[in-house]
Chain A
């Protein structure tokens, strides 16, 4: 399978704990995005990488959130001191920049539940 892979698919954690999610993009894609999606809403942009460089972070990404893409391949999203409001689906997407024909390919997401 050469699609975008996210792990774990589901994560239940207690409030205050730290969690880390992993995204493996399509191998030749140079751009990687993270989104958060709550029920009934569209994906909310969190951050994106061009190769290993993090180029933009949303104001939604508080100090408790950090993302890395150390070698320009896989990426991790860490949430420290989780809160109940962090419960959501976290989606990762990757793309190869082709101007207006750029297409983002999404993983199946990691569903986080903070109890």
Chain B
């Protein structure tokens, strides 16, 4: 069983559409991170959420941490082809564990 379950696994949309991807767990976390990975590159940190119910915005990306600190969502408004990539959620205990990711394709 994965510590972090991400959904959907794949998402293909047209430029300009909105989308939401999810990261769920049965465990409670002190913080949760979202990374984005492009082909041939390592993941790059987008945001860290810490407080239950916290909402953080990064341009057209909105991140929310669930009230119970077990889940998180990433919403993208007016997606652009440059948003294409693998979106990963991760938690840091002593090690750092990742979900399987949502592979997003935004078509022009």
| Residues of chain A at the chain B interface (Cβ within 8 Å) | 4, 33, 35, 40-45, 48, 55-56, 91, 93, 95, 100-109
8 Å CB contact of B100 from A35, A41, A104: A41
Q: In the bound complex, do residue B42 and residue A101 qualify as a contact, i.e. CB atoms below 8 Å apart?
A: no
Give B residues with C-beta under 8 Å from A: 6, 9, 30-31, 33, 40-45, 48, 50, 86, 88, 90, 92, 94-101, 103
A43 to B43, CA, bound (A): 9
Cα of A44 to Cα of B61 in the assembled complex, Å: 26
A100 touches B50 (CB 8 A): yes
Q: Is the beta-carbon distance between B42 and A107 smaller than 8 angstroms?
A: yes
Q: Tell me, rounded to whole Å, the shortest Cβ–Cβ distance linking A110 to chain B.
A: 11
- B95 touching A40 by the CB < 8 A rule? no
5 interchain residue pairs of minimum CB distance: A106-B42, A100-B31, A42-B98, A42-B101, A42-B100
Please name 18 pairs of A and B residues whose Cβ atoms are closer than 8 Å in the assembled complex, sorted by A: A40-B103, A42-B86, A42-B88, A42-B99, A42-B100, A42-B101, A45-B97, A45-B98, A48-B94, A55-B94, A100-B30, A100-B92, A102-B92, A103-B33, A104-B43, A104-B96, A106-B43, A107-B42
- Shortest distance from the beta carbon of B40 to any chain A beta carbon, whole Å: 7
B48 touching A101, Cβ below 8 Å: yes
**Are A33 and B45 in contact (CB-based, < 8 A)?**
no
Contacts of B50 in A (CB 8 A): 100
A49 to B6, CA, bound (A): 27
CA distance A44 to B98 in the complex (A): 7
Residues of B within 8 A of A104 (CB): 43, 45, 90, 92, 96
Given A100-B31, A107-B42, answer yes or no on A43-B98 (Cβ-Cβ < 8 Å): yes
Complex Cα gap A29–B82 (Å)? 30
Complexed CA–CA distance, A109 and B43 (Å): 10
Q: Give the CA-CA distance A44 to B9 in the complex, in Å.
A: 16
Closest chain-B Cβ to A108's Cβ sits at a distance in Å of 6
